[in-house]
Amino acid sequence: MEDINQALDKVRPMLQQDGGDVEIVSFDEETGTLLVRFLGHCAGCPFAQQTLKQGIEKTVTAAVPQVKRVEMVS
């Protein structure tokens, strides 16, 4: 999971700038699904889904081939 955390570190400054962050909930190696939770201001942001798909998922799947998709849990 260290490689996933390193990929998330690339998008964290953007999230932290707006008072938020992201944490890993779990990673299912069989399906390639990464579950994350938004923290701080990001948790209730109306743009969270857009940030998830266009920022986090795009960055993580490019850096970690085992991750096929990223989903958000509350």
pLDDT tens digits, one per residue of 31-64:
999 999 999 999 988 999 999 999 999 999 999 9
Q: Among all chains, which residue has been given the structure tokens 């008072």? A: 19
Q: Where are the domains of the chain?
A: 2-72
Cα–Cα distance, 49 to 43 (Å, whole number) = 10
Which residues is 22 bridged to in the sheet?
Answer: 38
Mean of per-residue pLDDT scores for the chain: 95
What's phi and psi for 37, nearest 5 deg? -125, 130
pLDDT class for 74, splitting at 50, 70, 90? Answer: confident
pLDDT for the residue numbered 1:
87
What pTM was computed for the model? 0.93
CATH 3.40.190.290 fits 2-72, yes or no: no
| DSSP E strand boundaries for the chain | 20-28, 33-40, 69-72
Residue from 59, 60, 58, 14 nearest 40 by CA: 14
Q: Coil, strand, or helix at residue 60?
A: helix
